[in-house]
Structure 1
Amino acid sequence: MSTEATTGQTEFIVSGKDTWGAFTLWDVCPAPTDPTRRAIVLEEAGVEAFDAFGELFTPSGATAQEALHEILRELRERAGLDHYAMRGGRDLGPTLTSELYGGAGVAAATKDAAFGVAASALPGVPSFHVRGLPDRCAASTRDRVRAGVINSGRRWPMASVWAEVTPLEPDGKGVSVAGASALDLALACSVLVAAGQIPCGCWPDVALIGELGLDGAVRTPKGLAEAAQGAAAQGARAVLVPADAVDDVDLAGVRVIGVASLHEALELLSDERHPLRPTAADAHNPGSGLPARG
């Protein structure tokens, strides 16, 4: 799992109000890459900003913070001022050098294929968007993930949260309706890391597979064995699966670790317990001889 910023330039849609000497941030989100969708979002956001006596900007940057600094530079030039503050949920003043909001990525799999799940927490109106899922199951996935996080004793980030699911293979299959729930655990963990609520333990070779119950329990998704095999084929050295289904997954040379709840999975990813450290209680195949990372 990693919180490194994505390289390259991304266009952001930013709304807020210029109060002469300060800019009050209302919302910021990545602009859709599809031209038609981008035009629709810009029109809707523009109307809302105009009705509230605000403005809409479309800066570009490697991160949301870079894009916001570009707006501050433009406002300083427009006003002829040396300093311009930014207000919102946090003070993101023009001299800020550290990222208050971040991103995270983790490996996952469904019965269809192996996937990467990436999440970003951006300043703005609290919301949760997931790309890469079938329309029929996107809403139910968001509900399970959000409820699972809250009912596990964690605070849902007061931010604009974006998650994206992409195949790990260039021509890999997309997510099917029947397999989508297997991504719940990966989505929840990546969101919490992006929001800074758990440490960013970097385990690119650990895959997370599991459906979340509304109470935060990790349940067995359809095609668990196929999902675990797909993750192993993509280089996973360990997979986190529902505790009740550990005996159903048998992978040569790969540790299979059972977790009963999102809380338990977060303990592992928070380094309170290490997912690659052999333990008789967690490992289905403790004789794999995999070294601990540390």
Structure 2
Amino acid sequence: MSTEPTTGHTEFIVAGQDTGSSFNLWDIYPAPTDPTRRAIMLEEAGIDAFDAFGELFTTYAATAQEAVHEVLRERRERAGLDHYALSGGREWGPALTSELYGGAGVAAATKDAAFGVAASALPGVPSFHVRGLPDRCAASTRDRVRAGVINSGRHWPMACVRVEVTPLEPAGKDVSVAGASALDLALACSVLVAAGQIPCGCWSDVALIGELGLDGAVRTPRRLVEAVQGAAAQGARVILVPADAVDDVDIAGVRVIGVASLHEAVELLSDERHPLRPTVADAHHPGRGLPARD
């Protein structure tokens, strides 16, 4: 099975076994864009699937869930059944009433523009893909984010991790991704949310700006003030920035909080200290000891 590419869609490789009335999903992951690597992966994965009495499918879709839906639709038509169940993987229900993978969305900004950072953790071959960044900085970004997560005491998800960086600027505006290291903190947090390691409901109206060191420390990116202004213009009520630079940022109507590390950022936003849930103590001690400016 193979479908034609559609603008904005990704080619997914789906492996599983057709049981006649259901599809036992084994694996799903994005196909390499390089033709040679794609051919090698398809050959190797095809042999493995054949040896296990299964099949391999390729299909273009916007998400992994849509890719699986497409496989099920084709299987349903071939079997002549009104209902064709899904089984396997992480015990996903046959009706696909929920997402097949964890997802997260976080706001961020560089010196030139504000961005949305969306992450998903799919079952499949462990890998880390970042779309929306220039090729020249994507590799170093992945290295910093992965090392920062691990060295912060968190587990890197054994899954196919995909992160997409999308400008929040008005359509048609020429957006530069210069200074993309300012997105590191947002990328790392979005991955942890998608992997289910931190709560998914604590990121609304919060923007994250900061470069990650390999040790998980949050460093100051170039022209931080412009980045904070861009995030505020997009509606962020709370903005996390490097602790060393918090005194240099003062935006009216926005709470700016300094964090020294990825660990500190996660702890702040995932428990009762969340800055959008102020307590009486917070009114006197913003951020409970964290540098902050209201």
TM-score interval for Structure 1 and Structure 2 normalised by the shorter chain: 0.7 to 0.9
Match of 2:249 in 1: 249
Deviation at 1:92, TM superposition (A): 3.1
- Given the superposition, is the C-alpha separation of residues 19 and 185 from structure 1 closer, same or farther in structure 2, using an over 3 Å criterion? same
Deviation string 1:182-228 (CA, Å, 9 cap, x unpaired) is 10000011111112111112543211001111111111111111111
Match of 1:48 in 2: 44
What is the root-mean-square deviation in Å for CA atoms of aligned residues? 2.8
Amino acid at match of 2:145: V
Deviation string 1:160-179 (CA, Å, 9 cap, x unpaired) is 11111111112141211xx1
Match of 1:16 in 2: 15
Amino acid at match of 1:25: W
> How do residues 35-114 of structure 1 correspond to structure 2 at under 5 angstroms?
37=33, 43-52=39-48, 53=50, 54-58=55-59, 60=61, 63-72=63-72, 74-75=74-75, 78=78, 86-88=87-89, 90-92=90-92, 94-95=94-95, 97-114=97-114
Match of 2:3 in 1: none
Structure 2 contact 141–184 (Cα < 8 Å) conserved: yes
Distance 1:155 1:197 in 2: 8
SS of the equivalent of 1:108 reads: strand
Q: For structure 2, list consecutive stretches of 5 or more residues without a partner in the other structure.
A: 1-7
TM-score of the superposition, structure 2-length normalised?
Answer: 0.79
Structure 1 contact 167–174 (Cα < 8 Å) conserved: no
Structure 2 contact 152–215 (Cα < 8 Å) conserved: yes
Distance 1:271 1:248 in 2: 27
Distance 1:79 1:57 in 2: 19
> How do residues 222-233 of structure 1 correspond to structure 2 at under 5 angstroms?
222-233=222-233
Structure 1 contact 101–196 (Cα < 8 Å) conserved: no
SS of the equivalent of 1:48 reads: helix
Match of 1:25 in 2: 26
Q: For structure 1, list consecutive stretches of 5 or more residues without a partner in the other structure.
A: 1-8, 287-294
Distance 1:257 1:117 in 2: 20
Structure 1 contact 59–68 (Cα < 8 Å) conserved: no
> How do residues 110-149 of structure 1 correspond to structure 2 at under 5 angstroms?
110-149=110-149
Q: How many residues align?
A: 269
Deviation at 1:116, TM superposition (A): 1.1
Distance 2:176 2:189 in 1: 21
For structure 1, which segment, 242-251 or 69-78, has the greater mean C-alpha deviation from structure 2 after superposition?
69-78
SS of the equivalent of 1:120 reads: strand
Match of 2:176 in 1: 174
Structure 1 contact 110–209 (Cα < 8 Å) conserved: yes
TM-score of the superposition, structure 1-length normalised?
Answer: 0.79
Structure 1 contact 209–228 (Cα < 8 Å) conserved: yes
> How do residues 274-285 of structure 1 correspond to structure 2 at under 5 angstroms?
274-276=274-276, 277=278, 278=283, 279-280=285-286, 281-282=289-290, 284-285=292-293
Match of 2:239 in 1: 239
Deviation at 1:263, TM superposition (A): 1.0
Amino acid at match of 2:292: H
